[in-house]
Structure 1
Amino acid sequence: MTTPPHRTRLTFHGPLSDTRADAVVRRLVRHRPTTVLDIGCGSGELMLRVLATAPEAAGTGIDLDTDDLARGRKAAADRGLASRARFLEESATGTTRGPADLVLCVGSSQALGDRLPEALGELRRLVTDHGRVLLGEGFWQRTPAPGELSRMWPDAAVTDHHDLATLVDLAIEAGFRPEWTETASLDEWEAFESGYLADTEVWLAEHPRHPLAEETRQRVDRHRARWLAYRGVLGLAYLTLVPTA
Structure 2
Amino acid sequence: MDRQRLSRLAHARHPIAAPLADESVARLLERATAHTEAGRALDLGCGEGAWLVRALASRPRWRAVGVDLDAQALTRARETATALGVVRRIGLHHSDVREFGATEPFDLVLIVGSTHAFGGLRPALAAARELLAPGGRVLVGEGFWEREPSRAALDGLGADRDEYADLATTTDRLVVDGWTPVDGHVSGQPEWDAYEFSWSGALAEWALDHPEDPDAASVREAADRHRTEWLHGYRGTLGFVTYLLRRD
* TM-score between both structures, scaled by the size of structure 2: 0.88
The alignment status of 1:107 with 2:110, answered yes or no, reads no
Q: 1:173 aligns with which of 176, 179, 192?
A: 176
- Out of 130, 133, 158, the position equivalent to 2:135 is 130
Counterpart among 190, 214, 219 of residue 187 in structure 1: 190
Give the drift of 1:242.
Answer: 1.0
Query: Does residue 1:71 correspond to 2:76, yes or no?
Result: yes
Distance in 1 between the 2:97 and 2:209 partners? Answer: 40
Hey, what's the Cα distance between the residues in 2 that align with 1:119 and 1:168?
Answer: 15
SS of the aligned residue for 2:144 comes to strand
Contact 1:132–1:241 (CA<8 Å) still a contact in 2? Answer: yes
How far the C-alpha of 1:208 sits from its partner, in A, is 6.5
Corresponding residue for residue 57 of structure 1? 62
Q: Judging changes above 3 Å, is the alpha-carbon distance between structure 1 residues 36 and 209 closer, same or farther for their aligned structure 2 residues?
A: closer
Measured in 2, the distance between the counterparts of 1:231 and 1:74 equals 34
Instruction: Find out whether 1:233 has 2:237 as its counterpart.
Output: yes
In structure 2, distance between residues paired with 1:210 and 1:37: 36
Tell me how far apart the structure 2 counterparts of residues 208 and 48 of structure 1 sit (CA, whole Å): 33
1:39–1:208 Cα change, 3 Å: closer
How far is the alpha carbon of 1:157 from its aligned partner? 1.2
CA contact (8 A) 2:28 2:184 kept: no
RMSD: 2.1
| 1:21 aligned residue (12, 22, 25) | 25
Structure 1 gaps, min length 5: none
Moved more, 85-94 or 34-43: 85-94
Quick check: which one's helix share is greater?
A: 2
Aligned to 2:34: 30
Name the CA shift for 1:66/1:209 in 2 (closer, same or farther; >3 Å). Answer: closer
Matched residue of 2:60: which SS?
coil
Tell me the equivalent position of 1:198.
201
Separation in 1, partners of 2:206, 2:87: 34
Distance in 1, Cα, partners of 2:52 & 2:195? 19
Question: Which residue matches 1:93?
Answer: 98
Query: Which whole-Å CA distance do the structure 2 matches of 1:117 and 1:215 have between them?
Result: 35
**Residue 127 (structure 1) shift:** 1.3
SS in 1 for 2:129: helix
Aligned residue pair count: 238
Q: Distance in 1 between matches of 2:58 and 2:212?
A: 47
- Would the alpha carbon gap of residues 44 and 204 (structure 1) be closer, same or farther in structure 2, given more than 3 Å must change? closer
CA distance in 2, matches of 1:226, 1:66: 29
Q: Distance in 1 between the 2:52 and 2:214 partners?
A: 39
Change over 3 Å in CA distance of 1:74–1:211 after alignment to 2: closer
Match of 1:144 in 2: 149
The superposition leaves residues 13-48 of structure 1 with CA deviations (integer Å, 9 ceiling, x where unpaired) of 111111111111111121015111001001111111
CA spacing shift, 1:206–1:57, aligned 2, 3 Å: closer
Q: Secondary structure at the match of 1:14?
A: coil
TM-score (normalizing by structure 1): 0.89
Do the aligned partners of 1:45 and 1:72 also contact (CA within 8 Å) in 2? yes
Could you tell me whether the CA contact under 8 Å between 1:139 and 1:236 is conserved in 2? yes
